[in-house]
Chains A and B, each alone.
Chain A
Amino acid sequence: MNKRDDQVNNEGTATEERSLPHRRVHLHSEHQQQGEQKPADMPISISIQGLNAYYGKFRAVKNITLDIKAKQVTSVIGPSGCGKSTMLRCLNRMHEETQNGRTDGKVLLDDEDIYDKRVDPVAVRRKIGMVFQKPNPFPTMSVFDNVVAGFKLNRFWVNKSELADRVELALKQASLWDEVKDKLNQSGMALSGGQQQRLCIARTLAVEPEVVLMDEPCSALDPVATLKIEDLIRQLTSKYTIVIVTHNMQQAARVSDWTTFLLMGDDRAGELIEYGETKQLFTNPKDERTEAYITGRFG
């Protein structure tokens, strides 16, 4: 205790919050960011401006404007059918793959509109990867081939040793390497559900995207596998911008730095109700509807 005393002595008079002694004397210095207010002017990765999404004539997502911060986890919550998955799929132009799906409005990735006429959706999807609700490894491929599938299918010729390196890196990033390094040649389908989902994450990371979109990535998994994925998401945030749609509010609270709450309006189109720092939104939401939803009083 004496050592700590000294440090208090030296710095105890500091009045400014930032230089409070307890900030400096953490046993675990890497946690210094903990509890800091996140500045609202953090770098922005994706800027959504007046986005509308339609299925034929039906408008599923209405006039959403939102800035997604770079290298942060942003969660999207809301009751079923509020358009959260649709909104997510608009961010890498997957919505247009749905029958009759179309969008208007702008989605800027690093200041470039991904819906610009000259932009190739294929190029967009390489920058903005996606992980789906159900783990969907390619059933005809081995673990190894699954990881490099996106990478390989984008090219006509690849260097074998480069491939192996890439597989190892991606699997390590997805915290799966230790579990599968001895079964790289087995079918991806032979893995457990949670492993399959991490395989899908590795597959997405192998393409080296900037942003990873996750559409309810844990909804088909058991609680332990879910927590593993959540941990993984937290780890990935140092390198990637992550947007995660989840129907599980607790999950949003656990994994995200920023939370977006969508709700459908009278015309059944999903609207943005509240967007803010996760801890603020979950301890002191600004909108009554957000409060009602996160406290389980409706929706």
Chain B
Amino acid sequence: MPRVDYDRELRSLQDDLLMLGSMVEKAITKAVDALKRRDIETSKQVINEDDAIDDLRFKLEDKCVEIIATQQPIAKDLRVVFSILHMAVELERMGDYAEGIAKISIMIGQEPPLKPLIDIPIMADKAVALLRRSLNAFLNRDVEEAKRICKDDDDVDNIYDQVYRELLLFMIQDPKTIQRATYLLWVAHDLERTADRATNIAERVVYMVTGKMAETNSKYMA
């Protein structure tokens, strides 16, 4: 089997991406959990840990550049490298959303809750599930699953719409809630964006396997 080293490098690139994915997944879960439990310490931890995510992303980018410079990947290999490069950026942004949520929890501090957090943890679970599924689709080169992910993003969008309307209602009814409502709106928005980026990863999977840049029909595509 020729090009053993090259294949090894490609695999290590993929391993790193999956690792980055699980770090991001962990960060989001942890951030939302901390928000729910009003755990400032854990929130601070999430913010600190984002550095590791950023580092790994830069490292992945370096590796991609190196592999292009030294191994001259073409055809599917080239799509893999570029997809990984793209996914690394998506994941790193998701990490930033987790960091954002953690910062908001710190800002909310010990303020009285506006309402019990129900929809936001559900959104978080769904977004994280989408992320996990997109990474699995990447690992298994599963185009069909990737397409389903793009569709399932609508779920998250629908919850977001609901949360948005609900929070708007709070603000209209009592302007004193505006600040707290806006905080929660931001969290919901970050989670909605996280889910969107998970679908971006799924689109990359489609491109990586088929070579086609897929258009997906999600309501809130950026």
**Which chain B residue shows the least CB distance to A225?**
B2
Q: Count the A-B residue pairs with Cβ separation under 8 angstroms: how many?
A: 93
B52 touches A15 (CB 8 A): yes
Contacts A4-B19, A13-B48, A279-B66: A34 and B72 contacting too (C-beta < 8 A)?
Answer: no
Q: Chain B residues near A22: list those with CB within 8 A.
A: 15-16, 19-20, 23, 56
A231 and B4: CB pair below 8 A? yes
Cβ-defined contact, A13 with B45, below 8 A: yes
Q: How far is the CB of B111 from chain A (nearest CB, A)?
A: 28
Size class of A's contact patch? 20 to 34
- Is B18 located at the chain interface by the 8 A CB criterion? yes
Q: Contact at B52–A14, with CB atoms within 8 Å?
A: yes
Within the complex, the shortest CB–CB distance from B104 to chain A, in Å, comes to 21
Q: Quick one: closest A residue to B51, CB to CB? A: A15
The CA of A140 and the CA of B128, in the complex, are separated in Å by 69
A228 to B2, CA, bound (A): 6
Q: Do B8 and A31 touch (CB < 8 A)?
A: yes
Pick from A4, A17, A25, A279: contact of B69, CB below 8 A.
A279
* A231 in contact with B2 (CB, 8 Å): yes
Determine if A253 and B72 form an interchain contact, defined as CB atoms under 8 angstroms apart: yes
Q: Pick the contact of B22: A1, A28, A35, A224 (CB < 8 A).
A: A1
Given A4-B19, A5-B26, A254-B66 contact (CB < 8 Å):
no
Q: Evaluate contact between B15 and A12: CB separation under 8 angstroms.
A: no
The answer to whether B148 has its CB under 8 Å from any CB of chain A is no
A99 interface hit (Cβ, 8 Å)? no
A residues near B36, Cβ cutoff 8 Å: none
A28 touching B45, Cβ below 8 Å? no
The smallest beta-carbon distance between B183 and chain A, in angstroms, is 26
Partner of B72, one of A4, A26, A250: A250
Distance (Å) between the CB of B217 and the closest chain A CB? Answer: 27
* A282 touching B19, Cβ below 8 Å: no
- Indicate whether A102 reaches chain B with its CB closer than 8 angstroms: no
Q: Which of A5, A20, A228, A253 contacts B71 (CB 8 A)?
A: A253
Q: Which of B1-54 contact A (CB under 8 A)?
A: 2-6, 8-9, 11-12, 15-16, 18-20, 22-23, 25-26, 45, 48-49, 51-52
On whether the beta carbons of B69 and A253 are closer than 8 Å, the reply is yes
When the two chains form their complex, are residues A34 and B8 in contact, meaning their CB atoms are under 8 A apart? yes
Closest-CB distance, B212 to chain A (whole angstroms): 27
Q: For chain A residues 124-155, which have a beta carbon within 8 Å of chain B?
A: none
Q: Which of B117-166 contact A (CB under 8 A)?
A: 132, 135-136
The one of A12, A27, A228 in contact with B52, judged by C-beta atoms closer than 8 angstroms, is A12
Going nearest first, the 7 A-B pairs with the smallest beta carbon separation are A22-B19, A253-B70, A282-B69, A227-B2, A279-B66, A4-B22, A234-B5
Interface residues of chain A, those whose CB is within 8 Å of chain B, are 1, 4-5, 8-9, 12-15, 17, 20-22, 25-28, 31, 34-35, 224, 227-228, 230-231, 234-235, 250, 253-254, 278-279, 282-283
Q: Show the binding face of B for A, using Cβ within 8 Å.
A: 2-6, 8-9, 11-12, 15-16, 18-20, 22-23, 25-26, 45, 48-49, 51-52, 55-56, 59, 62-63, 65-66, 69-72, 132, 135-136
28 contacts between A and B (CB under 8 A): A1-B25, A1-B135, A12-B26, A12-B49, A13-B45, A14-B52, A20-B52, A20-B56, A22-B23, A25-B19, A27-B11, A31-B11, A34-B9, A35-B63, A224-B2, A227-B2, A228-B2, A230-B2, A234-B4, A234-B5, A253-B71, A254-B5, A254-B70, A254-B71, A279-B66, A279-B70, A283-B65, A283-B69
